[in-house]
Amino acid sequence: MATYNVVKGYTIGRTLGVGTFGKVKHGIRQEDGTQVAIKIISKSQVMAMGHLNKLSREIGNMTRLTHPNIVKVYDVIDTPTYVFIIMEYIQGGELFDYISQMHRLCEMDALRIFKQIISAVAYCHSKMLCHRDLKPENIMLDRNKNVKIGDFGLSNIMRFVVGLCMQNYRNGECLKTPCGSPNYASPEVICGKYYSGPEVDIWSCGIIFYVLICGSLPFDDSEMPALFRKIRLGKFYMPGHVSPIAKQLITRMLDVNPQSRITIRELMAHPWFSCTSLGHEPMADCACSRGEICRAFGLSTARALESQYTLDVYRPHNAKSEHVATSFSLNRAAPRWNFGIQNLKSEQDCVQKICATLEKYEYQWRFLNGYKILFKRPSQSDPNLHDKFVIQLYKLKHASYIVNLQLTSGNLFECFFQAIAIMQHIISM
């Protein structure tokens, strides 16, 4: 990759980030000096993982999207070894970093950003695309704090259920690929149920909106089973500073039933969406004192201090301390317990280690999708039967992954020790 310092009129510079299939680098268009972001994808890596179709889909999706809140694609350069995607360069950083800096946003600022996200998502849905991995880390902000959504690597053509949404779209075939990030995944995704696509994006948008105005995640746990249980139940803490209309909107988006969950059309028709313009201008400073807030709501300062938080029936009496513990105000550089498999180069690296481990222990396996593997071998107690497992890979952050191993059939105690050996070998590689 170092040999490509210049490619067809673009000078390639420093690395901006690392994606699923390659690096994103800063670039300069030599013709006029315009700054660009260049996504460099290795064809050999993509072919090794069997993701040529996914790569073609990602590029096709990106080139046909034209929206002020979606990262523009200027050009695609194909070479024998690499694909170079020339994209709009966004200077404002990630939405995640902005939330970390602000701790939480006032509702008007949060609504302004949220409306831009919904506008972009609605546009994608109108093009029969769903994102399926919406989260603050995938949402960029320009210098005026306007939203720019990128990373459509997990997009898929929407397939609606016949009779529920629209007919004659791919014969009503539904999606079932579990992908994306666990904290932002909907109940139907983590349960492996069929889904159409738009309802998954709505759930993720609900999580993002909650994070914007609360500064923390509604569902969070260091243990994956506990996190999934919280998501399936759909019960979460709502801080007292959140307005009733915002609570109602979040509750509708985080409905565990995808059929009754609010739709994009209903969301955009909501009265709150008409209270401010969509806006693509610099954000106004909406910081205000406690006294101004009290006067606006007709409260005394003492009364306001007594009721900063309210608890619901699903939370223990010390919910306030739990809320602070998951806050985005935590320093990203602060020492933290490591969770999952650390220091891997990419998803491909993790999958290769898993496959090498399965080969070592003489398992037969096949890919259900790029990040889910079914594997088996004859049972030790009965050679006529097979111990069967499923491995699902989740990405927590760059170079950190969760490998979730499930037993689908076999002797529990025998398979328990097999599972320990598999996981220990993967970690030790």
Residues 6+ apart with CB under 8 A from 220: 183, 227, 230, 326
Give the integer Cα–Cα distance in Å for 321 and 323. Answer: 5
Catalytic residue among 109, 133, 255, 387: 133
Residues 6+ apart with CB under 8 A from 174: 159, 161, 194, 195, 196
> Do β-strands 73-78 and 386-397 pair in parallel, antiparallel, or remain unpaired?
unpaired
Give the integer Cα–Cα distance in Å for 59 and 190. Answer: 27
Helices (H), 90-223: 95-102, 107-126, 187-190, 198-214
> Alpha-carbon torsion 387, 373, 424, 179, what sign?
negative
Give the integer Cα–Cα distance in Å for 108 and 87. Answer: 30
- 43 assigned to a ligand binding site: no
Give the integer Cα–Cα distance in Å for 2 and 280. Answer: 38
Residue whose pair of structure tokens reads 């390639």 in the numeric block: 12
CA 356 to chain centre: 28
Give the integer Cα–Cα distance in Å for 51 and 44. Answer: 10
78 in catalytic set: no
Determine the straight-line distance between the first and last CA of the chain, rounded to whole angstroms. 26
CA-CA distances (angstroms) from residue 131 to 37, 100, 313?
A: 20, 24, 34
SS3 category, 405: strand
Residue whose pair of structure tokens reads 């310092």 in the numeric block: 5
Query: Hey, which residues are catalytic here?
Result: 133
Annotated binding site for ATP: 39
Annotated binding site: 39
